[in-house]
A and B are shown apart, each in its own frame.
Chain A
Amino acid sequence: MLVNRERGLETYRRMLRIRLFEEAASKLYTLGKVPGACHCSIGQEAAIVGACIALRDDDYITGTHRSHGHPIGKGAKLDALMAELMGKATGICKGRGGSMHLADGGVGILGESAIVGGGIPLAAGAALSAKVRGTDQVSLSFFGDGASNQGTFHETLNMSAVWKLPVVFFCENNQYALTTSVASSHGQPDIAKRATGYGIPGVIVDGQNVVAVYEATSAAVARARSGEGPTLIEAKTYRFDEHQVGLNIIGEPYRTVTEVQEYTERRDPLVLYREVLLSGGIAQEELNEIEQEVAEAVRHSIEFAEASSMPDPLDVYQHMYVNPINYPPRVRA
């Protein structure tokens, strides 16, 4: 189990919140209630929550287009997240972000970047800021295997190593960037090995095992907080669903049914962690209670979102500038 009883159960709660929130979001998307695109991280909950639970409330996170899990993992409330998925005025980003950008600043999420690799420098910048301001905050950047081939990965890891910034680079390697496999896009399959090139530690961890992820991240966070610099963590994980809900990919399948089954049936992080908790002496009833509580929270978020109003089109210019000058522009008739 994780650290202690309370932390251990909170970890389970957050993993389950991601799972049930995303299962609901997928259905709502199919029903046409969630516009745009909906990318789920079902299957990756242990990687996300194991990392988040190793952070303090005042630590920072940047994330990706597969953005639902990061705020939930860091402890965000669900109502404003679900409302955002539906494009409502009460959404966490007031209907200006949507599924790919569920940034909740209240729990330290600085941004969920749909430009692959875009959040990596932001996290290092937050770490540089903590260093200049003299706080002991740490920042953690979630990114995928695809992002590790972006220039921002190389540039930022190098600068962070040079300056010993308090940042953790956390790769959720779900093995496919949309349909492009790691095998077909990386010179060698272990992204963590690249850390050697920057003179920082690189750690590979089983991303389906939340305790292992927590332990690896805690070590990296401790190292960052004590001023020793960044760590690259690669959590080998798996995306159970398609790249995005409803995506129809024509032609030769890019992953086999057997491979998907191996993960969904034998390596489901929630099932695995539930077993850990039970064998650690947590009563079945206690887990059932958490499961009901989380289901209720998700139901409540849907009710809240559905009852919320759509934003007023007249407000479209709001939040373009903190300090608007001659804005929105007035056009003379």
Chain B
Amino acid sequence: MSAAVEVELPAMQRMSYMEAIVQAQIEEMHRDPRVILMGEDLAIYGDGKVLSTFGKQRVWSTPISENSFSGMAVGAAMTGLRPIVALSIASFMYLASDQIINQAGKLHYMTGGQMKVPAVFRCSLYYDKSIAAQHSDRPYPMFMNAPGLKIIAPSTPGDMKGLLKAAIRDDDPVLVFEDSTLWTTKEDVSMDREVVAPIGKADIKRAGSDVTIVAIAGSIKPAMAAAKELQLQGVSAEVLDPRTLVPLDKEAILRSIAKTHRLVVVDNANRTCGAAAEIVAMAAEEGFDYLLKPIQRLAVPDVHIPFSPPLERVLYPSKEDVIAAVKRIL
């Protein structure tokens, strides 16, 4: 311990999901000098606070070269640093995907364990904002299909802070999908710098007994609203947030459907080969005997995200969609 006077911090602090992202990075960068941040125009997003706290040796503002600065993070990670790459909008992950999939995700395996790549690749799911198809994708299912990566998609400020810290400390490459529709969500979050949330563990956001609603990232909002309304109608819905998509906490999902015998999966990614599709397939393969009724899958239809608000709004599963799906299988 240093001799400096320790200023006592409150055990809990109310913060937004966006503030949790910044706080997690600042705490980990204080804790470990190997952690650096790289990305485009960091000053204008939440990461501006990280930049002003740590300066240019720790925060690298990059040119618009997503694939190569992601690859540089891989090279830096292999040689003793723990880089965080901020790719801003999730659609830009496609540009970085060669280095993420072919290098970050594969090098530990391809070198027979000689190399490790402790890098974090962050991006925001920036949808439902009228910015059209090239900025609005929710591409985590594509990366779920690329082995070697870990993928988290937290839905609350507390989970975000705890899981992002766990991602930075993890020795494998971790992709972080931050849901911008949750940026302003607030809750009391632990300020204990050593509190991390476990990667690979789901969380029951609301306990219930009649139906399991698995909700990914931003779809937690309609799922929770639906559960609340169903409660008034005498239906007890359990809402489960996987929090980590790779590795998926299959046991938690199976335990829940063993209790409720009914499953609805809600996801704001596209329907075909989506995260919901994977969860539904897993439940059908491994939990078939628990189920009394067909599984319900709510996802975004296979269409591009349009610019005009009334065209876009109807695409994401709503509270009403979730309630209707639950009622179909009661």
Please encode chain A, from 150 to 165, with 1 for each CB lying within 8 Å of some chain B CB and 0 for all others: 0110011011001100
Q: Is B78 an interface residue (CB 8 A)?
A: yes
Residues of A within 8 A of B (CB): 60, 62, 91-97, 101, 103-105, 110-111, 113, 115, 118, 120-130, 132-133, 139, 151-152, 155-156, 158-159, 162-163, 318-323, 325-327, 329, 331-332
A144 to B174, CA, bound (A): 31
With A110-B78, A121-B99 as given contacts, are A96 and B110 in contact (CB-CB < 8 Å)? Answer: yes
Which of chain B's residues 271-320 have a Cβ closer than 8 Å to chain A?
A: 285-287
- Please tell me if the beta carbons of A120 and B71 are within 8 angstroms of each other in the complex: yes
Minimum CB–CB distance from A280 to chain B (whole Å) comes to: 37
Nearest-CB residue, chain A, relative to B244 = A325
Provide the residues of chain B in CB contact with A319, threshold 8 Å. Answer: 108-109, 112-113
A130 to B58, CA, bound (A): 13
Minimum CB–CB distance from A153 to chain B (whole Å) comes to: 9
Minimum CB–CB distance from B32 to chain A (whole Å) comes to: 12
Q: Is B79 an interface residue (CB 8 A)?
A: yes
- Please tell me if the beta carbons of A126 and B108 are within 8 angstroms of each other in the complex: no
- Please tell me if the beta carbons of B113 and A111 are within 8 angstroms of each other in the complex: no
Write 26 A-B pairs (CB below 8 A) sorted by A numbering.
Answer: A93-B111, A94-B112, A97-B112, A118-B71, A121-B67, A121-B71, A122-B71, A125-B74, A125-B77, A126-B75, A127-B75, A128-B60, A128-B81, A129-B76, A129-B81, A139-B75, A152-B99, A159-B62, A159-B68, A159-B72, A319-B108, A320-B109, A321-B150, A325-B247, A327-B247, A332-B254
Provide the residues of chain A in CB contact with B73, threshold 8 Å. Answer: 125
- Please tell me if the beta carbons of A325 and B150 are within 8 angstroms of each other in the complex: yes
A110 to B78, CA, bound (A): 7
Provide the residues of chain A in CB contact with B113, threshold 8 Å. Answer: 94, 318-319, 322
- Please tell me if the beta carbons of A329 and B247 are within 8 angstroms of each other in the complex: yes
Provide the residues of chain A in CB contact with B69, threshold 8 Å. Answer: 121, 155, 159
Provide the residues of chain B in CB contact with A92, threshold 8 Å. Answer: 112, 114
With A152-B68, A320-B148 as given contacts, are A96 and B75 in contact (CB-CB < 8 Å)? Answer: no
Residue from B80, B114, B200 in contact with A326 in the complex, judged by beta carbons closer than 8 Å: B200
- Please tell me if the beta carbons of A125 and B112 are within 8 angstroms of each other in the complex: no
Provide the residues of chain B in CB contact with A125, threshold 8 Å. Answer: 71-79, 83
Residues of B within 8 A of A (CB): 34, 36, 57-58, 60, 62-63, 65, 67-81, 83, 98-99, 102-103, 107-116, 118, 147-148, 150, 170-172, 199-200, 247-250, 254, 285-287
Provide the residues of chain B in CB contact with A93, threshold 8 Å. Answer: 110-112, 114
Nearest-CB residue, chain B, relative to A156 = B68
Provide the residues of chain B in CB contact with A94, threshold 8 Å. Answer: 112-113
A159 to B68, CA, bound (A): 9
- Please tell me if the beta carbons of B78 and A122 are within 8 angstroms of each other in the complex: yes
Minimum CB–CB distance from B243 to chain A (whole Å) comes to: 12
- Please tell me if the beta carbons of B98 and A128 are within 8 angstroms of each other in the complex: no
- Please tell me if the beta carbons of B286 and A129 are within 8 angstroms of each other in the complex: no
Nearest-CB residue, chain A, relative to B83 = A125
A325 to B201, CA, bound (A): 10
- Please tell me if the beta carbons of A101 and B110 are within 8 angstroms of each other in the complex: yes
- Please tell me if the beta carbons of A96 and B109 are within 8 angstroms of each other in the complex: yes
- Please tell me if the beta carbons of B250 and A329 are within 8 angstroms of each other in the complex: yes
With A62-B75, A110-B75 as given contacts, are A122 and B111 in contact (CB-CB < 8 Å)? Answer: no
With A111-B103, A122-B74, A125-B75 known, 7 other A-B pairs at CB within 8 A are A95-B112, A103-B115, A115-B103, A159-B63, A322-B113, A326-B200, A326-B249
